Structure 1
Amino acid sequence: MPLPGILSRPNLQRLTTLRSRREPDQAWISDLEGYRQVLQGGWSERTCHESFLEPAGPGVPTSRGQCGVSSAWLAEKLEARLVRHVTYCYGDVYSVGQDESIVLGRHCWIEVGRESDSSRLVVDLTGDQSDALRQHEVLHGPHDELQIRLDVDYRARIRLKPSELVDDLVYERLIILKQNLAARAVAR
């Protein structure tokens, strides 16, 4: 059975194959596309990381500067769903190969599984900020398979449990995101 290693908008039909390899309690995987859509409705200048507040120009995705706050939101969401071993990660995404250059620096994402497990799940709701990952608005797959299938390596410098986010700089922006999402829900 071939495994896709990623989940992106064009590859949603492959979700069932990927889920069958993982633990049965991971029904949350099928909600990732919806989570990205929900988050887009809450993104604003106030939720954007300050280093990305300068005008981006044409063709830059709306996710630019929203990786930290989106990953923090997802970490809390998954923990509330009782998903085990959820980790908020901050680091760099490297190309795999001869040059091993950074394709997405100072980036945030979620990992599910133990750091020592090479098949831990990487979940990136904003990887499309990078040209190398532009086609993957929602990226999901085992860490080791992403290295093979997409030639990228997610390398965390900082790893936090969802309960530790309250002490991180992203927390203030997370509160704003939650307020934005609540206001949007009331307006509907």
Structure 2
Amino acid sequence: MSAPTVEHYPSQHSGWPSLFVSNLSASTDLGAQVRQSDTVGVGVATHCPLGSAVDSIDRSDGVNGDMLDDHGVPGMDAVRGLLPEMDAASRAAMPPQPDTQLAPAEGIVPARQTTLVGDRLSTPPVFRRRFVEQLRRHRSVLLEAWSPETVYPGTDAMQLTDQPASKGQCGVSSAWLLPRLSWLRRFRATYCVGYVVFEGRDSGSDVLHCWIEIGGTRSGRRLVIDLTCDQFDDLSDRDLVCEPYKTLVNQSIEYRAGSRMRFNDLRHDPVWHRYERLDADIRHSTQQRLAL
């Protein structure tokens, strides 16, 4: 593939030349690609080979697994590895920018800032809190929709007595949440089936469980997301888990996955029929509220 042509054009504002990358024809890997999700109403559009590089990333988890921040967002080294042509353009020599400082507008606080630390993107606490808050809203929706029809069929009805509402709902809840993640997280997310092991305790180690992980399978930085963790005695004081794998291990909690699946793979899993029922119930409930 021929390298893109880098041309300099004068900027209209700063007076410095800006980069413009041309000759990115449809015949190259940098042609725009669009992926339509199998979930109704959810579309993912990507430009450049970011979307098409998902499979190549999965085949090299050992290399790219640590190129994520603690919330599953690719660092600059991961992005540059996917876009070598754009990386070459970004490294072109640029004249120094004038050292000017603008006084912050009174009463205006940035909603989100992303800083570059070394060669990795660092996500500030405000963004992390917003993601957790979004997960809590999802759990609230699920809490109203859980029913005997969506519970894991292997769950004894007697086991549900005096148990949290999330008991037996881990699989269907994880399946429902997966396509609702932002595309940047979703393309590294997997549906996990395994066990939650608490060091030094028998609780949970023999109970099959489902959750979501974002990141390389061998990376200690991969993010563990569990919206039904309160069904375990040792996690009953939490409404959800959203922490890096290594952080949980340091707390003597290990999410030990035995298998991992992409969302499309769930179509061939028994959880799919319960997912469709749960999704339909939530949509119907939403329509009823809107009609009031």
TM bucket by the smaller chain?
0.7 to 0.9
String of CA shifts for 1:51-97, please: whole Å, max 9, x gaps.
Answer: 22413222x1000110000001111212x64423101000000012x
Q: Which residue number corresponds to residue 183 of structure 1?
A: 284
Do the aligned residues in 1 keep the contact of 2:203 with 2:234 (CA within 8 Å)? no
Output the CA distance in 2 between the equivalents of 1:92 and 1:183. Answer: 33
Q: Which residue number corresponds to residue 12 of structure 1?
A: none
Query: Structure 1 or 2: larger helix share?
Result: 1
Output the CA distance in 1 between the equivalents of 2:265 and 2:139. Answer: 23
Do the aligned residues in 2 keep the contact of 1:41 with 1:184 (CA within 8 Å)? no
Percent of aligned pairs sharing the same letter: 33
Q: Which residue number corresponds to residue 161 of structure 1?
A: 262
Deviation of residue 147 (structure 1)? 1.2
Q: Which residue number corresponds to residue 212 of structure 2?
A: 110
Deviation of residue 26 (structure 1)? 10
Deviation of residue 48 (structure 1)? 0.5
Output the CA distance in 2 between the equivalents of 1:28 and 1:88. Answer: 19
Output the CA distance in 1 between the equivalents of 2:281 and 2:250. Answer: 38
String of CA shifts for 1:139-183, please: whole Å, max 9, x gaps.
Answer: 11000101113x110000110011211111100000000011011
Q: Which residue number corresponds to residue 177 of structure 2?
A: 74
Q: One-letter code of the match for 1:20?
A: P
Q: Specify the SS of the correspondent of 1:140.
A: strand
Q: Which residue number corresponds to residue 13 of structure 1?
A: none
Q: 1:81 to 1:26 in 2, by over 3 A?
A: farther
Q: Does 1:93 align with 2:222?
A: no
1:134 paired residue among 206, 218, 236 = 236
| TM-score where L is the length of structure 1 | 0.80
Q: Which residue number corresponds to residue 43 of structure 1?
A: 146
String of CA shifts for 1:96-142, please: whole Å, max 9, x gaps.
Answer: 2xx46452520000001010111100000001111011011111100
RMSD (CA atoms): 2.5
1:57 paired residue among 120, 142, 161 = 161
Output the CA distance in 1 between the equivalents of 2:222 and 2:202. Answer: 22
Q: Does 1:173 align with 2:173?
A: no
Output the CA distance in 1 between the equivalents of 2:183 and 2:143. Answer: 21
Structure 2 spans left out of the alignment, 5+ residues? 1-69, 71-121
Q: One-letter code of the match for 1:90?
A: V
Q: Which residue number corresponds to residue 247 of structure 2?
A: 145
Do the aligned residues in 1 keep the contact of 2:192 with 2:258 (CA within 8 Å)? yes
Answer 1 or 2: higher relative contact order, Cα 8 Å, separation at least 6.
1
Q: 1:19 to 1:65 in 2, by over 3 A?
A: farther
Q: Which residue number corresponds to residue 8 of structure 1?
A: none
Q: Specify the SS of the correspondent of 1:185.
A: helix
Do the aligned residues in 1 keep the contact of 2:203 with 2:232 (CA within 8 Å)? no
Deviation of residue 50 (structure 1)? 1.1
Deviation of residue 19 (structure 1)? 4.9
Q: Specify the SS of the correspondent of 1:109.
A: strand
